[in-house]
Chains A and B, each alone.
Chain A
Amino acid sequence: DAGVIQSPRHEVTEMGQEVTLRCKPISGHNSLFWYRQTMMRGLELLIYFNNNVPIDDSGMPEDRFSAKMPNASFSTLKIQPSEPRDSAVYFCASSFRRLAGGPEQYFGPGTRLTVT
């Protein structure tokens, strides 16, 4: 079975440019999460969706960041304009929300973003 798919795997861009990161969750999963990983701040949740609806975006750094989930199989995280401090690895994760149990989140391979 395909896991979470993210594209691109690597992105190098100049400050001020728009960056769009893409994610395809595992089929049948109804929750999707965007995380950012940096050396200084570790892994932090940016935003998550249940059934395509944003539930908690309190981790989104500022208005330059936006995320959408137009359907159950696709989500984007956009940074406009990008800044050097946005350089990080961005992970997308998905899970199947249920009443009991974990649920564990399954992570994609990540997108390594470098803003020069």
Chain B
Amino acid sequence: AQKITQTQPGMFVQEKEAVTLDCTYDTSDQSYGLFWYKQPSSGEMIFLIYQGSYDEQNATEGRYSLNFQKARKSANLVISASQLGDSAMYFCAMREGGAQKLVFGQGTRLTINP
């Protein structure tokens, strides 16, 4: 079974609009962490935001926020006021229990239109 599912292969959004990228996860552990990474066309992987399973508040980092719904096992990334530079692949990832390995989803390609 897929540990991380990103159901949107591609999304197109107008500049300055908010965008939500979906991520659902599957784990039986009570302790886990969820991550989002951005991969622009240049290829590097850029860490964006982290949410721990015991964190009561949704994580925020600048224009990025993570909409964490534990009962639904979803960890959607919200980008407010999108910019042209936000065009990239976005990956959701999970770390389970005390393990350090990250399991990544297949990614969503986000395109911001001017």
Q: For A104, give the chain B residue with the smallest CB separation.
A: B47
Query: How many positions in chain B have a CB within 8 Å of any CB in the partner chain?
Result: 21
Residues of A within 8 A of B (CB): 31, 33, 42-45, 48, 50, 55-56, 89, 91, 93, 95, 97, 101-110, 112
From residue A5, how far is it (CB to closest CB) to chain B in Å? 12
Residues of B within 8 A of A (CB): 33, 35, 37, 43-47, 50, 52, 91, 95, 99-107
**C-alpha spacing A107/B43, complex, angstroms:** 10
Contact at A105–B102, with CB atoms within 8 Å? yes
Give chain A's interface secondary structure class: strand
Contacts of A97 in B (CB 8 A): 100
A-B complex: 6 closest residue pairs judged by Cβ atoms: A107-B45, A43-B104, A104-B47, A102-B50, A45-B101, A109-B44
Contact at A43–B91, with CB atoms within 8 Å? yes
Instruction: Select which of A55, A95, A101 is within 8 A of B52 by beta carbon.
Output: A101
From residue B17, how far is it (CB to closest CB) to chain A in Å? 27
